[in-house]
Structure 1
């Protein structure tokens, strides 16, 4: 009886040693190349035989059993059995990173190349779904290679291609932006800008290099009508006009210990501090004075001394 049991054990061990590799329905792989041992039980000494390239990180590919068997035969392994398996789902392990993480990494790389701040870079991806990297990449997303077309803003980048890992390719567009002031509502000519009339936005630097920022626009007046959402340029703004050409002003004479106010007609428009000509309504004399307030022009010499004609 003991001899019979021993014989059976030897027979089972012998059968196991010569068992044909049998395919599994599913396989998880981490390497670049899929081996027979990844796909089949009882591969034995042939477990390391390379069969084909693995899917990209994080993806699953279905491989027909007969394709695996044919690849094994080409590699010199003849006895692979499909068993009950018709195809194998091969999944490549990978680290998933979000589109936001990818855009942050691209912005940092583009900013370094352009000598700008990462916050100034606006990145869009052609595909903003999560991407998968090598599971070896545990830290921040690394841009291994980066090519940027400065004319179109189009880029192509390779992520995580370090430590011998195959990188993941992403494409999209990146634009350097600047902060500019834009109108919060339609504005008529001559309106003095208040904080409520202005919004700060980031716009592409190209085409907005001459745009005025918030500090440069605050307190000025519009030189022409502007639509909502429009940026400001220097020639769109002017100092607030306190005096309009052809309008009536109060002409104030000051100096020599005396002060006198008369009614006059402005011969030119003017902002605070501008020197303009006005005509005394009564005497018709023309004098020059400084705009000192809304509808107010001041001269500092006596009336008889400053009359020009």
Structure 2
């Protein structure tokens, strides 16, 4: 077995941090080393591997296609090593098992509601849980160490960031349009039922992702009405924030029935506006379980069961 020079290990560490932070100068500050040291060692790493790892695009350092593959191959190993060192320093070798989940804020809420109690019962020892959310239209490959997670929700447009050989498909959702409905605080809902003209004059809440999906209109009695986007009073990051504003402000917003049941079903101050509907596009996505997780079989069963309960409600 060939012994790898320590400089190659150190260069790999610098490379991983460059991908994560996006610049040599940020890595210089992070590790408190000279800029030339970082550049020279990364160049030596490229020579050693005989592949180009980094490129400069509009004054921003980013990984090449091969560089991203190398990043995904090495990053978890380095993170695990650093975490192990930190944990041993803090508490010796007594560690709790960890379950990490990544997805949209709504997916995380579904996991909390339908899966966490069952996951906790997998092992007699308590788990540590890390529940991380991301915005669907704002994700990049270096932002998260995907293979450090046990369960992830990943949209098809982001699959390039994963090595799918390491994952088991738990569930998949195809691109489809489903009905969504308009909702409002009960103080104003009465005047909005079957009254599209009044809806057009009411303040709105939009999720930033709604704009990405191109949602600009609603239907009433087979007639199409364009939202007055000048009336968008609040722009939020997710459906949970949207729900909170519907409960507290005199505004109108929209979401599919499943979203409503997840975030507003228990509310007694938000009402569905009768007679209006939206064609809501769902982007294709997958729910994946990490193939190398010690608890992959249990997680597959628990998450699939929870998702099946949701599907059965809307069939």
Bin for the TM-score computed over the shorter chain: under 0.3
TM-score for both structures, normalised by structure 1? 0.20
- The structure with more strand, counted as a fraction of residues: 1
Q: Which is higher, the Rg of structure 1 or of structure 2?
A: 1
Which structure shows the bigger proportion of residues in helix conformation? Answer: 2
TM-score w.r.t. the length of structure 2 is 0.20
